[in-house]
Amino acid sequence: MSSLALEVRGITKIFGKTKAVDNVSFSVEPGEVCGFLGPNGAGKTTTMRIISTLDLPDRGDVFVDGVSVIERAREVRRRIGFMPDSYGAYSATTVTDYLDFFARAHGLRGKERSSTIAGVMDFTALHSMQDKHIDALSKGMKQRLCLAKTLLHDPKLLILDEPAAGLDPRARVELRELVLALADTGKAVLLSSHILTELDELCDSVVVIEAGSLQATGRVDQMVSEARAEMVLRVLGDQEQALRAVAEMPHVSDTKLVKGAIAFGFSAGEEQRAELLVALIELGLKPVDFSARTTNLEDVFLSVTKGTVQ
Ligand SMILES: Nc1ncnc2c1ncn2[C@@H]1O[C@H](COP(=O)(O)OP(=O)(O)O)[C@@H](O)[C@H]1O
Ligand SMILES: [Mg+2]
């Protein structure tokens, strides 16, 4: 048995002439929040539907907690909670009735059912809304209700498709807190977005997909520290001569003069950046400015995606 909460192994899905998902592999560990990023049409929803057993891959397989979505779909369903990007309206019902309906569908009975419903309402702070009709809820509250429903059967893996779309900033902060709290309890979370900033400061790892193909996958902290930094150096005296010296240094690329300063790319960590400055001073250069624009998830995203939309 694998200790991975989710393992996507080489899945391909073809619709007519469109390769919606093309040989995609990645994995998520228990307690990990993984951001699934890519522009519209990249293949995120198709991948999530396959993980959630709503669709079968043409090639490859997915294992949830070691269980195959092809061989044992029913067992997978017990282990996952899928929140689609748009969910059916049950506007005529109240919050409690809605959750009660799904709790029954999951086979929860008697005391177990009422305590489970109370538990998910507590977690999503829906108690004060329990008698409200769903159509009277704000988008953020509907989102919380949908999440509450997804948690009723205590899944190990949560698949949230574009959960932050259309939420106001406050509801987004609440969503982030809920997701982090879920990860703290050991659940694995895969959440998609085509807007990178929605996932910043939330994910431990990211999977970037574009036109069905995997572009990058890895831990956010590692990707950020390894990404190329954009540096600027200005020295006293002749910039041209200094530029030639900089271009000779290790990890340096694309040196050019910009507004009387030397701009260049630097593909190494802070240790090497400090060594570069020392080496330049030892060569007799006199830096007055030496700065790096810090790299964030957005830079990583831009550097791995090409902007192709299928
Ligand atoms: N049921 C379907 N029938 C035909 N084409 C589909 C179907 N579902 C998705 N696609 C196509 O597959 C590609 C990926 O779509 P999707 O997985 O929804 O991307 P995303 O969620 O990243 O926006 C798109 O080109 C889309 O038009
Ligand atoms: Mg989608």
| Atom 16 (ligand 1) nearest CA | 43
Task: Give the integer Cα–Cα distance in Å for 48 and 28.
Answer: 13
Residues with CB under 5 A from ligand 2 (ion): 44-45
Question: Rounded to whole angstroms, how far apart are CA atoms 141 and 132?
Answer: 11
* Confidence class for position 309, pLDDT limits 50, 70, 90: very low
Of the spans 52-66, 196-210, 214-228, which averages the highest pLDDT?
52-66
Per-residue pLDDT reduced to its tens digit, 79-123:
999 999 886 666 678 999 999 999 999 999 999 999 999 999 999
Ligand nearest, relative to CA of residue 41: 1
Which ligand is in closest contact with the Cα of 162? 2
**Rg (the chain; Cα; Å):** 24
CATH of 6-221 given 3.50.50.60, 3.40.50.300, 3.30.360.10, 3.40.630.10: 3.40.50.300
Quote the tokens at residue 179. 């997701």
Question: Read out DSSP for the chain?
Answer: ----SEEEEEEEEEETTEEEEEEEEEEE-TT-EEEEE--TTSSHHHHHHHHTTSS--SEEEEEETTEETTT-HHHHHHHEEEE-SS----TTSBHHHHHHHHHHHTT--HHHHHHHHHHHHHHTT-GGGTTSBGGGS-HHHHHHHHHHHHHTT--SEEEESSTTTT--HHHHHHHHHHHHHHHHTT-EEEEEES-GGGTTTT-SEEEEEETTEEEEEEEHHHHHHHSPEEEEEEESS-HHHHHHHHHTSTTEEEEEEETTEEEEEE-S-HHHHHHHHHHHHHTT--EEEEEEEPP-HHHHHHHH------
In the predicted structure, residue 212 carries a pLDDT above the cut 80 = yes
Q: Calculate the average pLDDT of the chain.
A: 90
Note the CATH architecture for domain 228-294. Answer: 2-Layer Sandwich (3.30)
Closest ligand 1 atom to the C-alpha of 161? 21
Interval between CA 183 and ligand 2 midpoint (Å): 23
More confident residue, 52 or 196: 52
Please give the share of the chain, as a percent, with pLDDT higher than 70. 94
Pick the more confident residue, 138 or 157.
157
CA distance to 41, 236, 275, 288, 289, per residue, from 281 (Å): 50, 11, 10, 11, 12
Interval 1-21 mean pLDDT:
92
pLDDT value at residue 308: 45
| Predicted local distance difference test score (pLDDT) of residue 295 | 67
Mean local confidence (pLDDT), 157-179: 91
State in Å: Cα 135 to ligand 1 middle: 29
Pocket test for ligand 1, best of 12, 14, 40, 45 (most atoms within 8 A of CB): 45
How many whole angstroms separate alpha carbon 155 and alpha carbon 273? 45
Paired sense of beta strands 80-83 and 6-15, if any: unpaired
Contact 124, 178 (CB under 8 A): yes
Give the C-alpha separation, 54 to 71, whole Å.
14
49 CA from centroid of ligand 2 (Å): 10
Angle at 6 between CA 112 and CA 27, to 5 degrees: 155
Q: In ligand 1, which atom is closest to the CA atom of 43?
A: 17
CA-based nearest residue to 287, from 305, 270, 274, 301: 274
Give the number of the ligand closest to the Cα of residue 44. 1
Instruction: Report how far ligand 1's centroid is from the alpha carbon of 117 (Å).
Output: 34
Asked if residue 307 has pLDDT above 70, the reply is no
- Ligand 1 pocket list (CB less than 6 A): 15, 18, 20, 38, 40-46, 310
Which atom of ligand 1 lies at the shortest distance from residue 49's CA?
17
- Residues forming CATH 3.30.70.100 domain(s) in the chain: 228-294
Task: Take atom 1 of ligand 1 and give the residue whose Cα is closest.
Answer: 15
d(CA 102, CA 153): 9
**CA of 195 relative to ligand 1 center, distance in Å:** 17
Using CA positions, which residue lies closest to atom 12 of ligand 1? 20
Residue 16 Cα to ligand 1 middle (Å): 11
Residues of the chain with CATH 3.40.50.300: 6-221
